Amino acid sequence: MSTSSVKLATPQGYQALSPKTLCIYLETTPIAHRLGGTSSQWSASEVGDGNLNLVFIVEGPKGSVVVKQALPYVRMVGESWPLPLARAHFEHLALVEQGKHAPQRVPAIYHYDAPMALTVMEYLTPHIILRKGLIAGERYPHMAAHVGEFLAHSLFFTSDFYLDPVSKREKIALYLTNTAMCKISEDLIFDEPYFDAELNRHTSPQLDDIALEFRKDTVLKLAVQELKYKFMNNAESLLHGDLHTGSVMVTEDDTRAIDPEFAFYGPMGFDVGAFIANLLMAYFSKDKNDDYALWILEQTQILWQSFSTEFSSLWAARKGGEIFNPRLYDDAPDLKEAALQLRLDTIFGDALGFAGCKIIRRILGLAHVDDFESIEDADKRAACERRALLFARRLILERKNFKTMQDVLKAAQ
């Protein structure tokens, strides 16, 4: 990914907002009534700590909302890396679609303004970002099952297992031009960790040897490029596209997936693998196998269990869908079960491979995760990261050999 000094043209009517200008803006929108009173009684603060956008919490006498606005550049790098505002459109589209299939697992959407690249949505409170909760050692008894359910519903209902071919192709087309976001993933996940890219960083000098080994590792690079090819060509389902633990908000009882601005039609295993990768990084960031670390590992098992059980019941109950049309069962009644098993096995293998890629990119690439970054002692951090890197390599190369999540978790320990 190369940065440039050319600023992107922003559409007429776009203005990056500040807390003050946001309140004045909101007064002109249909959601003003949710806040109550007038803008002079509202308080807004910018709370975004992600890599790309502005995020505001606005509170009024009657209620509160969250406002997310895209910037015309990558926030974590600055204006030298322009990024189309259109990602706000894809995020809104995906949130609405996911809201149809998993309404309890995404925030409610109140308002979308295309020229302003801005969405007003439910303020999830007292939720916190899952990654922060895991770093703090909190347990969320329903989180893994909820994410599994979100994945099963959002992936099943947007695939050929449910849709007729016309609707499926129309849906693919809706996301085809989210190219800038897909290109970020193609570069940052599958390429940059494997060459000396300008914006790469790693814990140095502790990981210099392994970073170089990975760059020289033809077998690994072949496998990663095979996964990249799958990412680019397997339009199986509408993906969230960036389902890490920073894209999930939790309380003890509730779980919501946010931020699907990387949404596109891709392989189901990519979303499943993204979440597994982030649970595994949370696990590897704890330097010993204490109760809490093992609890995190167990969540990976619960996630897969919940996803596969939910996906299987949707499959059993399905009425439409183009693939494995019921006319094929007449002379081969066991086909229905075999088809499901084949799909689950493929998603599982893909998910492990993508999980491996996701772990490596967060340790050797541009965008790191706080699970590791919050470990101040560089030697300690590097030791955790090295374990994660070696395991990620195994996940990628042996993805077709692991038969169950239990096998994966044993190997992780």
Give the shortest CB-172-to-ligand SR1 separation in angstroms. 22
Residue 193 has phi, psi (to 5 degrees) of -65, -15
Instruction: Judge contact between 236 and 266, C-beta under 8 A.
Output: yes
- Say whether the peptide bond before residue 193 is cis (omega within 30 degrees of 0): no
Residue 371 near Mg ion by CB under 5 A: no
Pick the piece of the chain touching Mg ion (CB under 5 A) from 71-79, 114-122, 132-140, 256-264.
256-264
Of 112, 118, 113, nearest in space to 96 by CA: 112
Among 65, 67, 143, 184, binds ligand SR1 (CB under 6 A): 184
**Helix, strand, coil fractions of the chain, as percent rounded to 5:** 55, 10, 35
Choose from Mg ion, ligand SR1, none: what does 382 bind? Cβ within 5-8 Å by kind: none
Place of tokens 């969405």: 119
Choose from Mg ion, ligand SR1, none: what does 207 bind? Cβ within 5-8 Å by kind: none
CA within 13 Å, CB half, 275: 29
Amino acid, single-letter form, for residue 283 = Y
Nearer to Mg ion, 203 or 278 (CB): 278
Residues 58-117 that bind ligand SR1 (CB under 6 A): 74
Pick the piece of the chain touching ligand SR1 (CB under 6 A) from 136-144, 180-188, 293-301, 321-329.
180-188
Among 259, 310, 371, 385, binds Mg ion (CB under 5 A): 259
Give the shortest CB-369-to-Mg ion separation in angstroms. 12
Nearer to ligand SR1, 186 or 322 (CB): 186
Pick the piece of the chain touching Mg ion (CB under 5 A) from 61-69, 134-142, 257-265, 293-301.
257-265
Of 209, 13, 183, nearest in space to 87 by CA: 183
Strands (E), 218-321: 237-239, 248-250, 255-257, 264-266
Give the shortest CB-370-to-ligand SR1 separation in angstroms. 12
| DSSP symbol at 191 | I
Q: Which residues bind Mg ion (CB under 5 A)?
A: 50, 259
Q: Which residues bind ligand SR1 (CB under 6 A)?
A: 51-52, 74, 184-185, 188, 242, 367
